[in-house]
Amino acid sequence: MAKTLTELAAEIISAMATNTSMTLDELEHNLSQVFASLKRISEQEVVVAPALEPKTGGRSKRGSRVTVTDPSASIREDRVICLECHKQFRHLTHTHLRSHDLTPASYRKKYGIPEKQPLMADTVRLKKHYKAAKSSTPRSEQNTEAKVV
């Protein structure tokens, strides 16, 4: 059974109190700070749907819990969450998907992601689009170069 935030905060403060001496006011202050931090962290977590929950209890190697209830929600502004292993990336590469014995097309089909949807964070996609547009020669210049040659 999962512990409550109050129980977790109390355990953390009791561990701190065994190593350092604290006054009652310091204990109360530290307890409220730890509780507030735990609450803020728990609100940022995303809950994994039961069908998608990994065998590791929903925790990635970094220890951050990832919550994905809708496959289309796995592609976010600043990161993409792999629905197989629940790790976070800026871009789901062919190499990573190969580690799950999937291709990008089979991954999209398995989770109902549209075929034309890029498997990358929106910020990365927009940055690549901007660089491509900036580096390409405008059509008006291409026509004048062709006439000169």
The pLDDT of residue 105 is 92
* Residue 80 parent element (H or E): strand 80-81
CA distances 77 to 2, 3, 38, 71, 94, Å, are 31, 32, 24, 14, 20
Question: In this model, does residue 13 exceed pLDDT 60?
Answer: yes
Torsional class of 57: left (φ above 0), alpha (ψ -120 to 50), beta (otherwise) = left
**Domain regions of the chain by residue span:** 5-44, 60-124
The pLDDT of residue 144 is 55
Summarize the confidence of residues 83-92 as an average pLDDT.
86
User: What would the CATH number be for the domain defined by 60-124?
Assistant: 1.10.10.1550
The pLDDT of residue 57 is 42
Structure tokens at 123: 């910020």
| Closest by Cα among 83, 49, 45, 52 to 66 | 45
Question: In this model, does residue 62 exceed pLDDT 80?
Answer: no
**Does the global pTM surpass 0.85?**
no
Please write the tens of the pLDDT for every residue from 91-114.
Answer: 889 999 999 999 999 998 988 888
Summarize the confidence of residues 59-84 as an average pLDDT.
68
Structure tokens at 125: 């996609």
